A = this chain, B = another copy of it.
Amino acid sequence: MTTEIDQYPRVIPAVDIVLMTVRDGRLKILVHRRQQDAKTFPGQLALPGGHIHAQEDADSLMAARRVLKTKVKVDPSYLEQLYTFADGARDPSGWSISIAYYALVPSALLEHMDRSVTLVDAEAIPRLAFDHNRIVDVAIERVRNKASFSSLPCYLLPEKFTLGMLQAAYEQVMNTTLNKANFRKKLEELNFVEPIEGEMQMGKQRPAQLYRVKPGRLAVFNKTI
């Protein structure tokens, strides 16, 4: 039987993920090198991504999760739809759709990465396959906008963190420097972190109080700092 849908050229939808973390005090994006025998952009750097499997993926978010699990062996705590790139020019093999997601993870989760996978500095993204540079630009812009001032950057940190680490994460994501006193006053107000009784981070100098996100207060979105 010929139905209406057979009239149109087939389009295979995919997901691509901009995975971000903070490593060495800098905001990083995860990229991987494509196989040398890939039909398109062989050997080039690209975002992790893959086709949607309709029989396997309940929705596009699940597809993104599956791709990350398979290709990067990571299950991110924060994963959100970014934008959909759909046109006839972005993929040389034809009209294509990429539902792009962005993810935030603590860098400790990325210890055992494949050799084909690397982190690149958000301020110096190399040339990527397809329209992936554009996708990364949109992702960074989105995160910058959302970060100020929500609890988003907490997803880049381990469960326990000092206020110094937290401020550094905000500064990385927002690409600015913040005043320490004002930052802490604002945190007080927003009220989504709490000190962990008696737990201190020992270091080279004065020990710092360890904090955690208050239960249920992750990803509370708010105004500017």
- What B residues does A55 contact at CB under 8 A? 8-9
List 9 additional A-B contacts (Cβ < 8 Å) besides A11-B54, A81-B83: A5-B51, A8-B53, A11-B52, A13-B97, A54-B94, A59-B87, A59-B88, A60-B87, A86-B99
By a CB distance below 8 angstroms, the chain B residues around A87 are 58-60
| Stoichiometry (number of copies) | 2
List chain B residues, Cβ under 8 A from A81: 83-84
Given contacts A81-B84, A95-B54, is CB(A5)–CB(B10) below 8 Å? yes
Chain B residues with CB below 8 A from A95, complex form? 54
Q: In the complex, which residues of chain B have a beta carbon less than 8 angstroms from the beta carbon of A4?
A: 51
Give the contact-size bracket for chain A: 20 to 34
List of B residues within 8 angstroms of A57 by Cβ: 88
Q: Rank and list the top 5 A-B pairs by shortest CB-CB distance, nearest first.
A: A59-B87, A54-B95, A60-B86, A84-B84, A9-B54
Verify if A178 is at the interface (C-beta below 8 Å from B).
no
Does more than half of chain A's interface fall in helix, strand or loop, or is it mixed?
Answer: loop
A12 CB within 8 Å of chain B: yes
Cβ-defined contact, A58 with B88, below 8 A? yes
For chain A residues 120-175, which have a beta carbon within 8 Å of chain B? none
Report A56 CB to chain B, min CB distance, Å: 9
Tell me whether B8 and A54 are in contact (CB under 8 A). yes
**B10 near A10 (CB under 8 angstroms)?**
yes
Whether A5 and B12, one on each chain, are in contact in the complex, defined by CB atoms closer than 8 angstroms, is yes
Task: Give A115 Cβ to nearest chain B Cβ, in Å.
Answer: 24
Q: How far is the CB of A113 from chain B (nearest CB, A)?
A: 25
| Min CB–CB distance A67 → chain B (angstroms) | 14
- Identify the closest chain B residue to A84 (Cβ): B84
* A152 shortest CB reach to chain B, Å: 16
Once bound together, how far apart are the Cα atoms of A83 and B142, in whole Å? 14
